[in-house]
Amino acid sequence: MDILNLEGTEDTPKILLDKGNGIFEISGRSLPEDSAEFFQPVLDWIDAYSAEPNSSTEFVFKLEYFNTASSKLILDVLSALEDIDGTTIHWYFHEDDEDMEEAGEEFSELVELPFEFKTY
């Protein structure tokens, strides 16, 4: 399975999805001009991965900021991950960023996935 590696920019998050090395991470800032278009390759990758997932999937979100349009797509990503047994979400936030912590808590209530909250 191909690795999805998108370098982050000022407006888009870094995305690394690497089944072979067990690395699944979205980090940085997410305010792309067209969130649906930007996140489509991620959703396609997760869909393909779900056919033959690793025995466990530790998916890391380490976002500094995301806009409203991105939040819908982040929820779509989380919803796609619900179908993969053995998935755990690691939600990182700066220890003084209550908004990002609350966003993670809200997402955790919307999907049936275990969340681990971590500060950095």
Does residue 49 belong to any structural domain of this protein? no
User: Is residue 82 assigned to a domain?
Assistant: yes
Domain count, the chain: 1
**Residue 18 belongs to some domain of the structure:** no
Inside any domain, residue 14 = no
Q: What global pTM score does this model have? A: 0.97
Strand (E) or helix (H) holding 57:
strand 57-66
- Do the domain assignments include residue 22? no
The 10s digit of each residue's pLDDT in 77-102 is 999 999 999 999 999 999 999 999 99
Note the pLDDT tens digit of each residue in 28-56.
999 999 999 999 999 999 999 999 999 99
What DSSP letter does each residue of 58-119 carry, written as one string?
EEEEEEEEE-HHHHHHHHHHHHHHTTSTTEEEEEEE-TT-HHHHHHHHHHHHHSSS-EEEEE
Query: Could you list the residue range(s) of the whole structural domain that residue 120 is in?
Result: 56-120
